[in-house]
Structure formats: C-alpha cells, structure tokens
Chains A and B, each alone.
Chain A
Amino acid sequence: MSLFEVRVQAGPFEIGAEQARLSALTPEVGAVVSFTGQVRDAPLLLEHYPGMAEREMEALLADARARWPLIGAIIVHRHGPLAVGEPIVLVLTASSHRRAAFEACEFLMDWLKTRAPFWKKDALGWVDARDSDEQAAARWD
C-alpha cells in the first residue's frame, strides 16, 4: 500500500488527520515528516492556475519518488484570501527511515515554491519571486 496525493483547496486542512493517513499505510512506515507553511506578517490573497497547479505538484511527487524510497506523500496547497497565522501549504512524506522522509519533504517544498503556479498578493501588491527560493531549489539539481 502506498498513498501519493496532491490537493488544491480554499478551506483549511487537518494536519493530524492527513498525517494519520500516512502513519497507518503499512507496518514499513517508520518516519513521517510534516511541513506546514503559514501566513506571516500580513494577510495574503493566493491565486493559482487550476489544473496546471495540480499537474506540477503531481510531477514533483513523481520526481521525489524517483529520488527517495517513499511509501507515501501528500501535498495540500490553499488558495484564496488567508489571514495571518493561517496555514497555506502542507507537505507530508512517509518512508521507512527518517533521512528519506526529511530530505524528500524539503525537496518538495523547495520545488513547490519555484514550480507550482501560485501567486501571492498582499496589501502592497503582488509579491516578487525571490532569488533565494531559486537557489534553494537549484541545490537539488
């Protein structure tokens, strides 16, 4: 049994429930890593490209599976208006051992920021892409 899933949704996600789905997959799961990104400093509006966003996230999962022995992974990304402190993105990875789960989670997050078609807008306008995010993704090449 394995579980690989991506979702884009307006509403919140339940971290514990998503993690439990991976924890219960098989007796071989020995490590589940979770990353949650949340809105800091000021409210945001998140726009996305429906269809392509899911496709890019699926492609990232396929890439991660080719690099690490994952048993499962879930990516949930929200869109729409989000208040300070609200969760934006959840990345969960499950493997037999912690190293693969940690590394795959970081890889997915780094690539998500530079590949997945989402755009943030705050009170000052559209947020500019950052070189540091490009560099973080490039280290996995």
Chain B
Amino acid sequence: MSVRLVYFAWVRERIGLSGEEYPLTQSLPAGELAAKLRALSAGHAEALTDLSRLRLALNQQQVGWDALVSPGDELALFPPVTGG
C-alpha cells in the first residue's frame, strides 16, 4: 500500500522528482506525512522544511495539513499558485 506523491514548481525542482510512490499502510495527517518525507533526501528536507510556504491538494482538492492521507490517495505538494 502506498500514497502517490506529486510535486510542482520549486518543490519538484528541489526534490528532483515530479512524483513518487511512498509506502503507507494506515491513514495519517498530511503534516505528519510531510515530516516523514524530509528523511528521504537532502532535497526533500530542503523543500519540506517550512510547511507554511507550501500548499497541498489531496486527490486534487485543496486541503489543510490536518487532512488525513490514506493508502491509494494522491497527495500534491506545491508553492502558492501564481497563474492567471
């Protein structure tokens, strides 16, 4: 069981991946998951140090850090949007 992680903009660049699978056997809050991801690499640690600079979407819906991530979900991490 795993969660699909997807990264955009400078989060993608610092981590060096546009996405990856991360093992997950039970639900946990997105903030706790992000803290675990910091251990994956120096790039992950750098990109995910200050969560206040990031936004997230769970299964393509914008949510907060307390949102529960479950196996099979897609979690996207990205900076505040700048389109338009």
Contacts and interface: CB of A to CB of B under 8 A. Distances in A.
Contact of A119 (B57, B60, B62, B79): B79
Contacts of B83: 46, 48, 77, 88-89, 112-113, 116-120
Interface residues of A, number: 30
Interface of B: 6, 8-10, 57, 60, 62, 76, 78-84
A interface, by DSSP: helix, strand, loop or mixed?
mixed
A126 interface: yes
Contacts of A112: 83-84
Contacts of A116: 81, 83-84
B62 A115 contact: yes
B6 A128 contact: no
B8 A47 contact: yes
Contact of A109 (B76, B81, B84): B84
Interface of A: 37, 46-49, 51-52, 55-56, 77, 88-89, 109, 112-121, 125-130, 133
Nearest to B60: A52
B82 A129 contact: yes
A37 B57 CA distance: 26
Contacts of B84: 37, 77, 88-89, 109, 112-113, 116, 118, 133
A49 B78 contact: yes
Contacts of B81: 113-119, 129
Contacts of B8: 47, 49, 117, 119
B75 to A, nearest CB: 12
A46 B78 CA distance: 14
A46 B84 CA distance: 10
A12 B5 CA distance: 31
Given A113-B84, A120-B83, A51 B62 contact: no
Nearest to A120: B82
Contacts of A51: 60
Contact of B57 (A117, A120, A126): A117
A125 B10 contact: yes
Given A118-B84, A119-B82, A130-B82, 20 more contacts: A37-B84, A48-B83, A52-B57, A55-B60, A77-B84, A88-B83, A89-B84, A115-B81, A118-B81, A118-B83, A119-B8, A119-B9, A119-B78, A119-B83, A120-B83, A121-B9, A125-B10, A126-B82, A128-B82, A129-B80
